[in-house]
Amino acid sequence: MFSPSSLTDLRNTGFDQIIDVRSPSEFAEDHVPGAINLPVLDDAERARVGTLYKQVSPFDARKTGAALVFRNAATHIDTALAGYEGGWKPLVYCWRGGQRSGAFAWMLREIGWPAETIAGGYKTYRRLIVKALYEGDLNVRLIRIGGYTGTAKTEILGRLSALGIQVIDLEAMARHRGSLLGGLDVPQPSQKGFETDLITALDRLNLSKPVIVEAESSKIGAITLPPALWGAMKSAPVIEISAPLEARARYLAQAYESVLRDGEALKDKLSPLSAHRSRELMQLWSDLIDRDDRVALCRSLAADHYDPSYEKSAGAFREFIAARFDTPDLTPAAQDRLADRIAGWLQSATI
């Protein structure tokens, strides 16, 4: 039995493959990085066994479960595992290192593969994640990119990455732009899945060099930034980007084109702001949506909603501003020039 005491142990197991035998929905929510899913009970079968356990008897549940587990395991051996030779060494886990992983690993060993299970299963892995992100110190030098809404901060992150600067794009990881209109056409990951992706990204970093992140709030859509990350971000130096309102409005109209094109859905998304903004302003936005005047709408949203909100929250990091960069426009060429300037500053700055 493999008993990891740290995330490093799980990154360097010495096994050829990690196999998650939990149901597809359990795997989709979160899993050990690099694991493949070979469920020995699918979601319906798992529910069926659980019902038997509660409503009939533990014996009946185990008997039915055993038949399903070995039937499904045999199918995996005939299909997904058919090409592996005798020296292949797999590591198997389930929810808490119990019957599902134990049964599958036993079958693999009977065939001749030196399979082992993770002691405590996925719950062991999850405890290590919680220890790192909720109880520990990330030991990473973060620098935040800040600025008013519409200053192309996400695009600048991408350009900095292309220039060889270490970057973590939290919004891409959370699959959300981090604002009222920031929802994308794909669902956000689970909180646990986000945290696994975060740990995986951190693991790739050179911790002797700074890492650039966007100056987010503590939540990105439904995702909450874990305490170790949020604590490091709150005290990190800030690079603030500024651009004229008109340039930001034009950038936003293009960047949010998929959101702006559906007028009625857009009105629904803006409706919660009626509790904070005047009736006249809400009516103005509605009229601009009806006229499909996207630049004017973005200009007003920035000036009358996002900018005041930013000013209110910016007080918390004004003392941490290490550099300011102005750009007259936000065209792709201007973004390239801005990223070059920031990269140059980062290479010479002592932070």
What would the 3-class secondary structure string for 3-14 be? CCCCHHHHHCCC
Q: How far apart are CA 10 and CA 128, in angstroms?
A: 10
Per-residue burial over 47-61, b = 16 or more CB atoms within 10 Å of its CB, e = otherwise: ebbeebbeeeeeeeb
- Range list for CATH 3.40.50 in the chain: 138-348
The string of pLDDT tens digits covering residues 294-306 is: 999 999 999 999 9
The total number of residues shown for the chain amounts to 351
Residue 2 β-bridge partners: 118
Question: Which residue type occupies 235?
Answer: S
Options 3.40.250.10, 3.40.50.10170, 3.30.565.10, 1.20.810.10; CATH for 7-132 is 3.40.250.10
- Whole-number pLDDT of residue 207: 86
Beta bridge partners of 326: 242
* pLDDT for position 93: 98
> Among candidates 32, 34, 7, 11, which has minimal Cα distance to 22?
32
Residue 195: per-residue pLDDT: 98
| Residue 42: HSE in the Cβ half-sphere, 13 Å Cα cutoff | 5
> Phi first, then psi: what are they for 14, rounded to 5°?
85, 0
CATH 1.10.10 fits 138-348, yes or no: no
Mark 250-259 as b/e (b = at least 16 C-beta within 10 Å): bbbbebbeeb
Those residues whose C-beta lies under 8 Å from the C-beta of residue 315, and which sit 6 or more positions away, are none
Give the pLDDT score at 74: 97
Q: What pTM did the predictor assign?
A: 0.92
Identify the pLDDT of residue 225.
97
C-alpha–C-alpha distance, residues 336 and 210, integer Å: 20
Which of the residues are catalytic? 94
Is the distance from CB of 53 to CB of 76 less than 8 angstroms?
no
Distance CA 340, CA 338 (A): 5
CA distances from 227 to 217, 218, 222 (A): 12, 9, 15
CA dist., res. 147 & res. 65, Å (int): 56
Of 33, 133, 149, 131, the C-alpha closest to 91 is 33
CATH 3.40.250.10 positions along the chain are 7-132
With 0-12 / 13-18 / 19 or more C-beta atoms within 10 angstroms meaning exposed / middle / buried, residue 103 is buried
Residues (pLDDT < 70) of the chain are 184, 351
**Beta-strand pair 142-147/211-214:** parallel
Q: What is the pLDDT of residue 222?
A: 93
Bridge-based pairing state of the strands 90-93 and 116-117: parallel
